[in-house]
Amino acid sequence: MSRSRRRRLFSNLVVFLCSAAVLVALVPLAFIFVYVVKQGFSSLNWDFFTQMPKPVGEAGGGMANAIVGTLMLMGIASLLAIPVGMMCGIYLAEYGAGKFAFFVRFAADVLNGVPSIVIGIFAYGLAVLPFKRFSAVAGGMALGFMMIPIIARTTEELLKLVPSSLREGALALGASRAKASFSVMVPAALPGIMTGILVAVARIAGETAPLLFTSFNNRFFTTRVDQPIASLTVQVYTYAISPYEDWHRQAWAGALVLVGVVFFFSVLARVVTRRLERMHRT
């Protein structure tokens, strides 16, 4: 029983523990996923996508308004966050060495970590109270604030990966720094930046807390952005804590659709990343 034997035994033990960690964590996690899919599928039907919610206690109905609402909120958030996030990222990539850039980067990181419920309070004060209305814009704004840092940081990272020879070439041809940035660097990095945007969208699509007191909820179908609007997440929450079996069923269906939306964007982001990797390799 030499020391080396003990060392090897201990090593194997660690290897075993790590594998066990994967089993005890990932397997139940995968189980949650399967459970949601199972419950969701058994509750999902065509009405879910085409019908409005029914009055309390009446069975049937769907979440058509909430699905459209969620899509609209995502759209408004993207409209706000993509330009701001990208511009901010471009700034960081171009002038990233300075003291100010350090602050910007830190601010973006903080913004990324601020609990979404706090963003909700902020958006309530900024876009609900002064205008005396809950609105889709307020909700979209809250979500947009959460997207900005993700987009900004990916843009920055991606721009840094563009070979500097490209920029130098543009500059040598007499382009201004801004021109080089926008017409050469950004297009080169654009596909990569897209993945950042997709990841950001995937993250906000599942947010509930910041919507509770910004976009509020709406029983009716609306596409007006200055009115309260339904969203899948808030609707799932409302239904989940209710005592009605039929609403529970719909909450599961809503959860499945949500997971579907989120996964769609996550997987899309991954596929784009893959293709980029391949492109870079060749």
Partner 1 sequence: MKILRLLALTAIALACALSPASAENVQINGAGATFPFPIYSKWFSEYNKLHPDVQINYQSIGSGGGIRQLTNQTVFFGATDGPMTPEQMQQSGGRVLHLPTVLGGVVPVYNIPGVDAKLKFSGKVLADIILGKVNKWNDAAILALNPGVKLPGTDITVCHRSDGSGTTYIFVDYLSKVSPDFKKTVGVATSVNWPVGVGGKGNEGVAGLVRQTPGSIGYVELIYAIQNKIDYGSVQNLAGEFVRASVESVTAAAAAASTKMPSDFRVSITNAPGAGVYPISSFTWLLFYESPKDRQRARIMKDFTRWALTEGQKYAAELGYSPLPESVVKLELAALDRIRA
Partner 2 sequence: MGTGFFALLVVLLVAGIGVQLFRTSHLTIAKFGFNFWRTKTWDPVSGEFGALPFIWGTLYSSVLAMLISTPIAIGIAIFLSELSPGPLRTPLTFLTELLAAIPSIVYGLWGIFVLVPLVRHFEVLTPPWLKKVPLFSGPPLGVGMLSAALILAIMVIPFSSSVAREVLRAVPASQREAAYALGATRWEAIRAALSYGRTGILGAVMLGFGRALGETMAVTMVIGNNPQVSASLFAPQHTMAAVIANEFTEAADDLYLSALVEIGLVLFVLTVLINGISRFLIWRTGRVVATEEIDSTPLAASEAGA
* Residues 127 to 146 in contact with partner 1, rule: CB under 8 A: 127-137, 141
Q: Which stretch binds partner 1 (CB under 8 A): 31-39, 104-112, 124-132, 249-257?
A: 124-132
111 binds partner 2 (CB under 8 A): yes
- Based on CB atoms, which residue is closest to partner 2, 13 or 223? 13
**Interface pattern 43-72 for partner 1 (x via CB under 8 A):** -----------xxxx---------------
DSSP label at 63? -
117 binds partner 2 (CB under 8 A): yes
20 binds, among partner 2, partner 1, none (CB under 5 to 8 A by kind): partner 2
Among 32, 99, 132, 174, binds partner 2 (CB under 8 A): 32
**Residue 254 Rama label (left phi>0; alpha psi -120 to 50; beta):** alpha
Among 39, 45, 51, 242, binds partner 1 (CB under 8 A): 242
Residue whose C-alpha is closest to residue 150's, from 100, 203, 191? 203
Residue whose C-alpha is closest to residue 85's, from 142, 139, 155, 143? 155
Exposed e or buried b per residue across 73-99, where buried means at least 16 C-beta atoms within 10 angstroms of its C-beta: bbebbbebbbebbbebbbbbbbebeee
Q: Cβ-count burial of 268 within 10 angstroms (0-12 exposed, 13-18 middle, 19+ buried)? A: middle
Residue 251 Cβ vs partner 2, minimum distance, rounded to whole Å? 6
Q: Which residues from 71-110 bind partner 1, rule CB under 8 A?
A: 80
Note the residue count of the chain: 282
150 binds partner 2 (CB under 8 A): yes
Euclidean distance between CA atoms 145 and 123, whole angstroms: 9
95 binds partner 2 (CB under 8 A): yes
Q: Which residues from 200-229 bind partner 1, rule CB under 8 A?
A: 216-220, 222-228
**Interface pattern 151-190 for partner 1 (x via CB under 8 A):** ----------------------------------------
How many residues bind to partner 1 according to rule CB under 8 A? Answer: 34
What DSSP string describes 143-193? HHHHHHHHHHHHHHHHHHHS-HHHHHHHHHTT--HHHHIIIIIHHHHHHHH
CB 65 within 8 A of CB 53: yes
- Based on CB atoms, which residue is closest to partner 1, 237 or 265? 237
59 binds, among partner 1, partner 2, none (CB under 5 to 8 A by kind): none
Q: Which residues from 238-267 bind partner 2, rule CB under 8 A?
A: 240-241, 248, 251-252, 255, 258-259, 262-263, 266-267
| Segment 233-237 long-range contacts (CB within 8 Å, at least 24 positions apart) | 233/70, 233/206, 233/207, 233/208, 233/258, 234/66, 234/208, 235/53, 235/63, 235/66, 236/208, 237/208
- Based on CB atoms, which residue is closest to partner 2, 72 or 93? 93
List of residues contacting partner 1 (CB under 8 A): 54-57, 80, 126-137, 141, 216-220, 222-228, 241-244
